[in-house]
Structure 1
C-alpha cells in the first residue's frame, strides 16, 4: 500500500524510486534466521555484508509495488506522451514522424470522475463560533457530495493526503476496477474532509502533511509487549516467525518455491506434525466458523492418512490434495492476521495447493473457487476478490444452489453441505459488494432455500439429524448468526444507500426505515449464541466483543450521511457519535485481548469508524470546545491512533492514516485547551 508523496522534488524522487518487495525472504537471510527486508534487487542485509543476494539470480521471484508508485508510473507515462505529442506538433517533420499511441486514452480504464466541489463559505463556523454556518446551504452541499460521482481522482505527488484518497486506496485493494459505490463511505469521507474546515480559524482546508517513512518492510509485533514493541522479545518472536521448524519445508526455501513449479513439485509434507495440527485446528476454529465450506471429517481423514504414511500424499486425489494444502494455507493466513506474523508460509502452502486446483475443480467445481475466494478475501494482495466471489456466485446459481427444488434429489447430509457452501458464498458476496459499493451477485428475491441447520456435521446423517446436547453450543450457531448480520447489512445497503426511490419518501417514512433497521440490529445483538463455543481463545468471533464491534460499525453505517438522509440532524449525529465511539472501543478491547484480526477488512472498518467519529464531533452545532469536553472523542481518537500504529506494521497506508488522525487529535486538544484558558466572565 502506497502513500501520497510530499511536495517538492525530494518527495517526487522518493515516489519515483519506490522499491519493490519480494514475496519471501532471500536465501541467505532465511538460512541465518535474519529479518529480511525483501527489497529488490538486493536486500539490505546482503548489501551490508557485501555478498550477492539470491534475488539477483532469481528470475522467478514475484514482488509487490505500492499502489501509488504504480499510479505514479501511469501519470509519468501520460506526461511523457503529452510531451512527445507536443514536440512532434512543433517539429516540421511531424507529418512524417512515426505515429505513436494516443496517451490521452492510454489509461481511460483507470480514470475516475471528479467529485463536485463545494463553496468554501458553506461550512460550519470556526472553533470560535458557537453555531454551524448556513444550515440549508450546508445541506445542499452535503446532497451534492452524496449524489455526485463517488470516486476521487488518484492523488498526484504534489497533493496532500485526504480522507477520500486514503479510503479509495484501501477499498481498491480488493479489485482492479476503479468504481466505488455509496456504501464504501467515500462521499462521507469527502464530507468529513469539508467539515474539518471548522478546525481552522480562517475556515481554510485542513491540510495533512504527507510523511514519507523509510520503513518499507512489514515489521512484526510481539503482542506480549504493551509498551515497547521493538524490544528483545520482539526480535526473538520475529526470528521464530520465520519458520522455527528446520525441516518444515524440507530443504526448500521460501524464495526457491515462490514461483518455481519444479520446487513446488518437490515440496514435502511438513514434518512437524504439531505445527500442522495447530494450523488445521485453527482453520476449523476460525475460518470454518465464518464460512463452513468443508466437511471436517473428510479433511481429518485425509490428514490422518498422510500422518500415518507421508508417501500417501502422492496417492490422494487432486481434490483431497488441494483441500489439505489449502486448509494449511488458510489456517496459516488466519493465524498470521491475529498474531501479525509473516505470511510467507501461507503463500507457500497456497502456491502448492494451486498445483491441484484445475484437476480439483474438475471433480468438485465449487470447493476450489470458494477457498480461493476466501484467501483473497482475507488477503487483498492475492487474486482479484471481486471477480473470484462473483465467479463463485455464478457457479452457485448455475448449480441451482439458490433454489429449494434442486435439493430434493440429494441425501440430507449432502443437502446441508450444499447449503453451507451456498450461504458461505452469500456472505462473501455481501462483505465484498458492500465494501466496494457495488451490486450484489446474489439477490434475496431469487433465493428460496432455507439456511443450513444449527447442528454440527457429525450429527447429520443421510436420512436424519440426531439430537445434539442442548447444553453444548453448536459450532454452526456462529456462522448462522453471522449470516443474519450479513442479511441485515444487505438491507442497510439496499434501503439506505441503494434505492433511489427511498430518497423521495416523506421524512416520517424515511425515519421509519432507519428505526426498523436499528431494531433489526438490536434484535441480532440480543439473540447472539450463548455460550459461544470455547475452541480457541484467539478467534475474534468466538468472543462477545466481536459482536459488539460489528453491532456498532453497522449502526454507524445506518446513521452516517447517506442518500436516504444526505443531511443529518442533531439526533442522528449524536447516534453516529455513540456508534463510532463504541466501535473504536470494542476494537481496542479486542486488540488488548489479542483477539483482533489485523486484516484489510478490519483496517477499512476502523478507518470508517474513525471518520464517523470525527464527523459527528466536528459537525455538532454546539461550541466545539464544549463538545470535546463533554465527550470522549479525544481519548477515542487516541485509541484509534494506537490501532493504526499496530496496523502500520502490516499496512503501510495505516502509518499515513495514523499521522492524519493524530493531527486532528492534537487540534482537538488545542481547541479544548483554548476555551479552558479563557478568563471567566462570571461575577
Structure 2
C-alpha cells in the first residue's frame, strides 16, 4: 500500500481562509479550500510566507527532479518535429469557429497574405506538469479574460467579448519577429507583488478555467484587477455604519445627487427626480420618525449617494471609500425594500446593477441583470397587453424601467459574449417618450419644447445604439445566423449595419444639455467613441466574414484609431469614466489597432510611416497609465502595448 504523499505546509493560514474564518490545511502551494473553490491561493503570491518541509516531501522533490532530467535527456535524442501544415489567412482560406475555445488558425506570413498566424496549440505539449519556476509570458487573451471575468467572477466568455480576436491579434504579431516565430512578451512585474506563477507548457493552458473564480462566488477575490477585498468585508453591518446618518453638508449631498441624475440616471432613467428629491427632504426633516415607506426611500437615497459618489470617482479618479460606506448603508434596507412589490424589487436590483458598472466590490453584474430581466418578463413589461388601461404616467415609468434593463442586458451580454436575457423578437412595445417628468400626467403627455430638448432624448438615442449592437451580435457573431448566407448576403448584412450606425451618429440629440461639465455622455466625443467602437466590432474578423480584405482592414484601422482618439479627448477634458466597461472597450480598440496595422498586405515599414498607428498606440499607453491608478491589470497591459510600440518604432526607423 502506497504511503500518503507528504506535503509542505505554511506556518499560517492563507488570506482567504483567514478572512472567512475557515480552517486552513496550509498545504503548499495552494490550500485545499482554495483548490476546491478554484480560487488563487495567497500562498502563491506571498514570498514572505515561511513553511515546514517534511523529509519525505523533500525526497519526493528530488525524485521528481531526477525523473525530469532523465526525460529531458531522452528527448534530446529524438528526431526533430515533422513540419506542420500551414494555411494563409486570405480569401481562399476562410475559417469558421463555433466557439472561441474551438477557433484555431494556421498560417505562415508571406507577401501574399494578410496575416501571419501560427497554430494556437502548436507549442510544446510534452505532458509535464506546470512548474513553479517563473511568471508566464503575458498574452492578450489572458489579459482580456482577466479583465472581463474579474468583472463577473465567472468563466465563460462568448464571441462578441473579443477573446478570439485577442488570440488572432497575438498570432499576427509573428510579423514583428525576425524569424516569424511566436511573439512573446516579456514578464512585466510592475505593481505586482507575487513571487512566482505557473510556467505553462502551451498557450492553451493560459485559458485554464481554474485560474478564475468559481461560479458560486458572486464577487471575485482574485487580487489582479480590483484588489483583494471581499464584499462581506464592507457589507457586514458595523456600529459605525448602522449609526450613520445623512451627512450634514447639504450642499455636498446635493452635488452627489445632481451628479447621479446627470450621469447614471441619464444612462438608465430608473428614478423620477422630483419624487426622489421629495423623499430626500422628508427624510432630512423627519429622520427620527421615518414614514411607512422609509425602507424603500432610504434604500434609494443611500444607493443614489453610492452611485453618484462612485460614478464621480470613476471620472475624477478619487478614492472610493465613501461610496463603499454609502453602499453598505443601503444594504441595511435591501430586504425590507424588496417587500414593497415587484416594481420596488426591480428598482432595488437595477440600482445595484448601476452601482456595479462602476464599482466591482458590489454584486455580480451578470447575475443581477439576468434576475431583473426575468422579473420584468414575468411581469409582462415587454408586451403591449400589459399596458392596456394603465395611466400614462404609470406606463411611462414601467417602460423606462424595462428599457433600462434592456440596455443593461445589451451592455453586459455583449461585453462578455453571452446570450441576451431579453430577446428583441419578444418585445412588442414602443420605447418611453423623450419628455421631462413634469410633462407626463396620468391622462396625457404634454409636448416638450423643441428649443429645450429633454434629458431623456439621450437615453432614447443610446437605446437605439443598443438595438443596433443587438443586431450585430445576432447577425455577425452568431454561427446559426450566418451559416447559410452567400458571400453577397454577408456583405449586405455588413453594409446595412454600417449604414444604421452612420444614421445613428447623424441623429445624435442636439444641442446636448449643458448641465454638468464632467458627464461623458453629455459631449459629442462620447457618441463618437461609441460609434467607432461599434464600427470596429462590426469589421473585425467574425463568423459572418472570417477573412479580411484590404478595404475592411483599412476601415477597422480607422475605426480603432478614431475610438482611441475620442477616448483621449475625453481624458483631456476630464470627463472620461474609468470603469471596467471602458477599460474593456479601450483594450479591444487597442487590439483592433494592432491587428489592423500588423496584418496589412503592404510592407509594414511603409504602413507605419504612412499611418498614425504609432501615435495612436502611444495615446493608448497614456490612457492605460491612467487606468493603472484604479486597475492594477492596466499596468501589465500598458507594458505589453509599450513593447509593441517600441517594436513598431524600431521597424519604422530601421531604414532612416
Same fold (TM over 0.5): yes
Aligned to 1:177: 154
Aligned to 1:442: 422
Q: Distance in 2 between matches of 1:118 and 1:526?
A: 38
1:295 aligns with 2:272: yes
Aligned to 1:338: 315
Give the alignment of 1:272-291 within 5 angstroms.
272-291=249-268
Aligned to 1:379: 359
Aligned to 2:643: 663
Give the alignment of 1:603-614 within 5 angstroms.
603-614=583-594
Give the alignment of 1:205-604 within 5 angstroms.
205-214=182-191, 259-312=236-289, 317-363=294-340, 364-604=344-584
Gapped regions of structure 1 (runs ≥ 5): 1-15, 24-39, 41-64, 91-111, 126-130, 146-152, 217-253, 677-683
Q: Distance in 1 between matches of 2:379 and 2:103?
A: 44
Gap change, CA 1:214 and 1:73, over 3 Å in 2: closer
2:100/2:158 contact within 8 Å kept: no
Shift of 1:117: 5.5
Q: Distance in 1 between matches of 2:491 and 2:590?
A: 25
Shift of 1:268: 1.5
Aligned to 2:198: none
Aligned to 1:123: 108
Matched residue count: 536
Gapped regions of structure 2 (runs ≥ 5): 1-11, 21-33, 46-52, 64-98, 123-129, 194-230
Shift of 1:478: 0.3
1:18/1:69 contact within 8 Å kept: no
Q: Deviations over 1:119-144 (max 9, x none)?
A: 5xx2324xxxxx255x6x969979x9
Q: Distance in 2 between matches of 1:455 and 1:577?
A: 39
Gap change, CA 1:523 and 1:359, over 3 Å in 2: same
Gap change, CA 1:192 and 1:357, over 3 Å in 2: same
Gap change, CA 1:406 and 1:314, over 3 Å in 2: closer
Gap change, CA 1:449 and 1:113, over 3 Å in 2: closer
- Whichever structure has more helix as a proportion of its residues is 1
Shift of 1:156: 9.7
2:116/2:599 contact within 8 Å kept: no
Q: Distance in 2 between matches of 1:530 and 1:627?
A: 38
Shift of 1:488: 0.4
Q: Distance in 2 between matches of 1:69 and 1:160?
A: 22
Gap change, CA 1:381 and 1:209, over 3 Å in 2: farther
Shift of 1:408: 1.7
Q: Distance in 2 between matches of 1:290 and 1:330?
A: 12
Gap change, CA 1:72 and 1:644, over 3 Å in 2: same
Q: Distance in 2 between matches of 1:491 and 1:573?
A: 22
2:521/2:527 contact within 8 Å kept: yes
Aligned to 1:71: 40
Q: Distance in 2 between matches of 1:262 and 1:315?
A: 24
Q: Deviations over 1:150-173 (max 9, x none)?
A: xxx9x9954201000000001102
Gap change, CA 1:401 and 1:167, over 3 Å in 2: same
Q: 1:629 aligns with which of 609, 632, 638?
A: 609
Gap change, CA 1:342 and 1:73, over 3 Å in 2: closer
Q: Deviations over 1:254-302 (max 9, x none)?
A: 9997633433221121111111000000000001100000111111001
Q: Find the residue that maps to 2:634 and give its secondary structure.
A: helix
Q: Distance in 1 between matches of 2:423 and 2:118?
A: 33
TM-score, normalization by structure 2: 0.76
Shift of 1:591: 0.2
Q: Find the residue that maps to 2:444 and give its secondary structure.
A: coil
Shift of 1:409: 3.4
Q: Distance in 2 between matches of 1:516 and 1:642?
A: 35
Gap change, CA 1:516 and 1:256, over 3 Å in 2: closer
Q: Distance in 1 between matches of 2:570 and 2:544?
A: 32
Shift of 1:475: 0.6
Q: Distance in 1 between matches of 2:548 and 2:43?
A: 39
Shift of 1:204: 1.2
Gap change, CA 1:287 and 1:510, over 3 Å in 2: same
Shift of 1:209: 1.5
1:201 aligns with 2:181: no
1:167 aligns with 2:136: no
Q: Find the residue that maps to 2:267 and give its secondary structure.
A: coil
Q: Deviations over 1:429-488 (max 9, x none)?
A: 001111111100000000001100010111100101122221001010000000000000
Gap change, CA 1:551 and 1:19, over 3 Å in 2: farther
1:313/1:321 contact within 8 Å kept: no
1:305/1:312 contact within 8 Å kept: no
Gap change, CA 1:348 and 1:626, over 3 Å in 2: same
Q: Find the residue that maps to 1:71 and give its secondary structure.
A: coil
